[in-house]
Structures are given as structure tokens and as C-alpha cells.
Amino acid sequence: MIKQMTKIAAMIILAIGLTTNAAAQSKTEFNLLQYIPLTGIETAQGTYDPLTNTVYGNSFVLNNFEGSETHLFTISLDYSGEQGAASNQFPVTGGSWSLVVFRNNVYTGTLFGEVTGGTIGAVTTSGEETALRQMQVALQATGGLKSFAGIRSARISGVFEAVTDTSSNQTTGNITIGMQ
């Protein structure tokens, strides 16, 4: 009887060990560095607050449907500087972002975080009208859902680079994201 109980206990411990190992391996399959090309649109130019000299809520929605992974990226930026000011560079002061990932048409998880800095630059035509806006923005993950749950300890950060055509709001760019 004691031998049978010992064997049962050993089998339970082995099963728990295998299950825990499998769960840990499937938790987050995030490459150390990942480059994701994106296309989308500027959904809101933001609201200018003259008291703080800040534009709040400049928002974009972009996606990527290449290969077995699908990505949906949303970002909202806050930046300093008067709209239409003589300077063509505006410092990014904050914001938030999220990256939703599907693999083989199955929801894998969502990674989200905050915007920690960057710049938005206006490219003007010969008539001094803004034709394009270029941005380079630093991203810091603060958490995640499903496969990305518990991501805070992994210290994931990245860069979002994009160009927006101001006449159509069409935006193209990329995210380079990975573990620090």
C-alpha cells in the first residue's frame, strides 16, 4: 500500500512539473527583437491646449496582415508646441499604446504601455504648407494580456517610426520592439 501511494505521489508530482513547464513555455513567445511594418490612418489630430502649449490625443490606428501573424497597433500621443509654430520639431511628452497580436487567426495577446518620449517633425512644401509629419516615438511596455500577461518584469521597449500624409491622414511606419 505504501509503495502504491509513493508511486501515485511521484506521478502527481511529475504531472504537475510537466504542466508547469509547458505553461511557462507557452506563456510568452516573444522574439528578442521584432520589426513590424504597419499601415493605417491618423484618427485624430489631437486637441491643442494653449494654457499648457500641448497637443493631447494625436491618435493613430495601424495594422499588418503579413504571414501567420496579424498585428493591430493603436497609439495616442501628447506633444509640446503650438500648432503652426515656426519650429518644425515638436517633443513628444507622453501618451499610450497597445499592440494586439493574432497568430494563425487566433488571438494571442495584447501588449500595452506608455509613450516615454520622441519627436514629431513637420515636412513642408515650397508653399510652406505641411505635407508630411514624421515621428519617432519611444515605447515602454507596462503590461499585457493573455500570452503577454506578466510582461512588466520582462522589460520590453521599442520605437515607433511613421510618416503621415497630412492631406489624406494615411500613415505608414513600423515598430521595432524587444526585450531590454
- Record the pTM: 0.77
Q: In the prediction, which pLDDT does 89 show?
A: 86
Q: In the prediction, which pLDDT does 47 show?
A: 93
pLDDT digits (tens, 9 = 90+) for 36-90: 999 999 999 999 999 999 999 999 999 998 888 999 999 999 999 765 555 688 9
pLDDT digits (tens, 9 = 90+) for 121-152: 888 776 667 788 899 999 999 989 998 887 66
Spatial CA neighbour of 43 closest among 164, 174, 176:
164
Asked whether the predicted pLDDT for residue 16 surpasses 80, the reply is: no
Q: In the prediction, which pLDDT does 123 show?
A: 81
Q: In the prediction, which pLDDT does 153 show?
A: 53
Q: How far is CA 8 from CA 12, 47, 109, 114, in A?
A: 6, 65, 37, 49
Could you give the 3-state DSSP secondary structure of residue 93? strand
Left if phi > 0, otherwise alpha if psi is -120 to 50, otherwise beta: which for 174?
A: beta
Q: In the prediction, which pLDDT does 97 show?
A: 97
Q: How far is CA 38 from CA 63, 66, 102, 155, 162, in A?
A: 5, 10, 15, 23, 9
User: Sorting pLDDT into bands at 50, 70 and 90, what band is 7?
Assistant: very low
Could you give the 3-state DSSP secondary structure of residue 84? coil
Q: For all residues of the chain together, what is the average pLDDT?
A: 81
